[in-house]
Structure 1
Amino acid sequence: MRIVVTVKHVPDATGDRHFAKDLTVDRDDVDGLLSELDEYAVEQALQIADAADDAEITVLTVGPEDAKDALRKALSMGADKAVHVEDDDLHGTDAIGTSLVLAKAIEKAGYDLVISGMASTDGTMGVLPALLAERLGVPQVTLLSEVSVEDGVVKGRRDGDTASEQLEASLPAVVSVTDQSGEARYPSFKGIMAAKKKPVQSWDLEDLEIEADEVGLDGSWTKVDGATERPARTAGTIVKDEGEGGKQLAEFLAGQKFI
């Protein structure tokens, strides 16, 4: 079974993130890492592979040179090989363009099952699994808290606010998993050393037969028209309870339209 896990190298959420002049995320002034939500996808792929007789896990990312760090983290967790799609013309590509690049790369790599996180921790759109399934022409089973594969069928549980659903689809298929699917394993020293020897292929747009005008800022279906910096944090309001504390608190919350 050929499992492809899509992962993303994202800016550290604890860093000082801001936009560049072209209103894309400035990734040069903040450290990057493997998106935490994608770690759950890698973990589920590893568990499925452990239960299968013959499975190979390929981790796939689209991004600049630093994106290889996300691949190395996934490889150190236990994935078998990696594919890095890198091209200067990809700068500014939106989710729809990214889905085109990923779909072409997945088809080129070969797959039976594609696993994604529920969203990236920078864009948090959560639409890529559905876009991938549409482009690949296969079923999607998304937002799973539990997933398994047996006899050519992927099965999983999707938990909602009031009920849980049991879903399944025949392979090939695309699934996405939530942060409730199971804690991701921490790479061991042995895994980190082994990751350095695992193959990482590099492809560009030409390799995937994609024209430059289909991606990048000019090829994007969505655009950011403007952005303003988050206001500086101000001192909080202290309510001293001298018998009227509850009333003052309620008035404050109502004034802020919290209640």
Structure 2
Amino acid sequence: MKVLVPVKRVIDYNVKVRVKADGSGVDLANVKMSMNPFDEIAVEEAIRLKEAGKAEEVIVVSIGVKQAQETLRTALAMGADRAILVVAADDVHQDIEPLAVAKILKGVIDAEAPGLVIAGKQAIDNDMNATGQMLSALMGWSQATFASELDIDGDAAVVTREVDGGLQTIKVKLPAIVTADLRLNEPRYASLPNIMKAKKKPLEEKAAADYGVDVSPRLEIVKTTEPAARQAGEMVGSVDDLVAKLKEKGLV
């Protein structure tokens, strides 16, 4: 079974994001970029399935700018077998929207015929949490979102999902789309020898037009602003004072 893992190039989660002065978006000049953390978890899970003998090949795919090659090389260094880069934008500030991503991924799936797609539940830059679900709808495949555990049982995947009420375990027929949550695993660090080996692993470059997909934006970003500054706290002298303050502010 092949496992396909989409990965996205985003601002590194350790970097403090800066909004452009004109409010048109986020400033990406001289900013460290890395793989979306949820996608990294998805890559790790696919590699673990291969190591357990439940998958034969792990393919990673990224859709965006040419610089996403670095993100794919990271996934190859972790243990993925080969990579596909779909160049869909020239400007690093252009974010390919979930529907266009899902349509391109459908084209990749049609060509590669994987038995399982593992994706991050969302990207930390736009927090859409939509691509996996849209891809499932386009493919007509089973889906299991917010996975904290994943196991392959014959022609089915057993997935434990994180839901509001706790945990929910479901069994879905393969092929399927699974989206990875934070507690699915702890991704490995790529060793130096594997980083060197990754440079020789195949990385195929395609274009969005190869899949007949129009990536023109359907959404318009009206304005981007910094989050409101946190207000200073208030000191109280006793529990009774605290309760009184909470009542005063309508919080209890």
* Distance of 2:230 and 2:55 partners within structure 1: 54
Given that 1:89 and 1:215 are in contact with CA atoms closer than 8 Å, whether structure 2 keeps it comes out as: no
* Distance of 2:149 and 2:54 partners within structure 1: 20
Q: Deviations over 1:65-106 (max 9, x none)?
A: 221121111111100011111133783432222222222223
2:232 is the counterpart of 1:229: no
Compared with structure 1, are the counterparts of its residues 75 and 258 closer, same or farther at alpha carbon in structure 2 (3 Å cutoff)?
farther
Alignment of 1:47-62 (within 5 A): 47-52=48-53, 55-62=56-63
Q: Deviations over 1:177-233 (max 9, x none)?
A: 2111121112122221111111111111222122xxx3233xx1x322222334567
Alignment of 1:12-91 (within 5 A): 12-19=12-19, 23-52=24-53, 55-88=56-89, 91=94
- Gapped regions of structure 1 (runs ≥ 5): none
State the one-letter code of the partner of 1:226: K
* Distance of 1:30 and 1:182 partners within structure 2: 27
2:159 is the counterpart of 1:162: no
The sequence identity of aligned pairs, in percent, is 28
2:182 is the counterpart of 1:182: no
Q: Secondary structure of 2:211's partner?
A: coil
Count residues with an aligned counterpart: 249
Given that 1:89 and 1:216 are in contact with CA atoms closer than 8 Å, whether structure 2 keeps it comes out as: no
Alignment of 1:233-252 (within 5 A): 236-237=232-233, 239=235, 244=237, 246=239
- Gapped regions of structure 2 (runs ≥ 5): none
State the one-letter code of the partner of 1:150: D
Q: Secondary structure of 1:123's partner?
A: coil
* Distance of 2:196 and 2:249 partners within structure 1: 53
2:202 is the counterpart of 1:205: no
Compared with structure 1, are the counterparts of its residues 26 and 246 closer, same or farther at alpha carbon in structure 2 (3 Å cutoff)?
same
Alignment root-mean-square deviation, CA: 2.6
Q: Structure 1 length as normaliser, TM-score?
A: 0.84
State the Cα distance separating 1:162 from its structure 2 match: 3.1
* Distance of 2:248 and 2:230 partners within structure 1: 19
Q: Structure 2 length as normaliser, TM-score?
A: 0.86
Given that 2:43 and 2:80 are in contact with CA atoms closer than 8 Å, whether structure 1 keeps it comes out as: yes
* Distance of 2:249 and 2:29 partners within structure 1: 36
Compared with structure 1, are the counterparts of its residues 215 and 190 closer, same or farther at alpha carbon in structure 2 (3 Å cutoff)?
same
Q: Secondary structure of 2:111's partner?
A: helix
Q: Deviations over 1:137-182 (max 9, x none)?
A: 2111111111011322111111334343221222211111211112
Selected match of 2:123 from 120, 126, 132:
120
Given that 1:16 and 1:30 are in contact with CA atoms closer than 8 Å, whether structure 2 keeps it comes out as: no
Find runs of 4+ consecutive structure 1 residues off by over 4 angstroms. 19-22, 231-234, 245-259
